[in-house]
Amino acid sequence: MARALAILGSARSDGHTAALLKRLIDGFDCEVIDLNAANIACFRYDQRYADDDEFMAIVERMIAAPIVIFATPVYWYSFSTVMKNFIDRMSDLLMSQKTVGRRLRGGPPESPHKSRWALVSSGSDREPDRDLSSAFRRICEYLGVECVAEVYGVEGGAFVDEDAAQTVRARLG
């Protein structure tokens, strides 16, 4: 079986979000892609991307993974810039890459091929940001993937909802 996948998108690769993610996946077999180290172009309406653009290769790993974790800090009630850039590129799956987009959905809710995503976010507020949560759930809904859980931590601290963390871990192995 393919490995679980985490996509880390923060302005710093060793900050609170990275620490939170590390604690969540510690002891599990989960590949981490740091968007700061990936070559992902900004979304283009003409869908012309350079040969070294890594977006579609990452999407293939997402399709194969039993769960994909999106790890982002809360920046101004929303995703980090690098994560938002990555999410904007999902529009390619509704444009020039529709066949891949259909594969990403992966069938009905109980199908083993269904894509399952989780959000990990880190902010300074005591509670998870409702606008970020809502955006993530709506993105999952629009793309036809299952939102497994949302995990939040204040800075790099404890998970505010340990059950949500356990729900993600149950999918990790």
Ligand X SMILES: Cc1cc2nc3c(=O)[nH]c(=O)nc-3n(C[C@H](O)[C@H](O)[C@H](O)COP(=O)(O)O)c2cc1C
Residues interacting with ligand X, by CB under 6 A?
Answer: 10-12, 15-17, 73-77, 122-125, 129, 155
Min dist. Cβ of residue 5 to ligand X (A): 18
At 20 the three-state DSSP class reads helix
- Of the two residues 60 and 155, which places its CB atom closer to ligand X in the complex? 155
- Of the two residues 56 and 160, which places its CB atom closer to ligand X in the complex? 160
Which residues pair with residue 121 across a beta bridge?
72, 152
- Of the two residues 20 and 62, which places its CB atom closer to ligand X in the complex? 20
At 78 the three-state DSSP class reads strand
Min dist. Cβ of residue 22 to ligand X (A): 11
Min dist. Cβ of residue 79 to ligand X (A): 11
Min dist. Cβ of residue 7 to ligand X (A): 13
Residue identified by tokens 């999918």 is 171
Using alpha carbons, list the distances in angstroms from residue 22 to 14, 28, 127.
10, 10, 20
Q: Which amino acid is at 69?
A: I
- Of the two residues 17 and 97, which places its CB atom closer to ligand X in the complex? 17
Q: Are strands 30-34 and 4-8 parallel, antiparallel or unpaired?
A: parallel
